[in-house]
Amino acid sequence: MTERSSSRSNLTAVAAKTRDERIETHERNPKWQNVPLRIEMSECINCDACLRHCPEQFGAIFNHGIDVIIVPELCSGCLKCVPVCPVDCIYPDPEWSPAPDDWWKHPGNPGDPYA
């Protein structure tokens, strides 16, 4: 087992509580009661209102090329982004899948709007 994977499994065992821990483990806090949210890109107008209203402790919404994405492992489902969306394109995602690897280039890296 590598040092990184050992560190990752130790964080997972105690539930990733901080944003940095969730970024490191790529895991959602299992204690969160709400499902993560998703953006329906065919409806989104890329206004970034949702990004500006996502609480820093979650920091789940990013510009990803021409898309605006919500990293489900970082989204607590708090709904702060929903009422500010002018086109109502943010939905609960009860059947969410883990974020693709290329989405993880945003959180915790240069250009992270929540860092």
Mind listing the pLDDT tens digit for each residue in 50-103?
999 999 999 999 999 999 999 999 999 999 999 999 999 999 999 999 999 999
Token pair, residue 92, equals 């609960």
8 Å CB contact between 35 and 96: yes
pTM for this prediction? 0.86
8 Å CB contact between 29 and 76: yes
8 Å CB contact between 64 and 109: no
**Which one-letter DSSP state was computed for residue 7?**
H
Q: CA 72: distance to chain centroid? A: 4
Residue 62 resides in a domain = yes
Domain that holds residue 61: 33-105
Residue 7 resides in a domain = no
Comparing C-alpha atoms, which of 77, 94, 93, 90 is closest to residue 34? Answer: 77
Residue 5 resides in a domain = no
Residue 3 resides in a domain = no
Residue 97 resides in a domain = yes
In the predicted model, is pLDDT for residue 25 greater than 80? Answer: yes
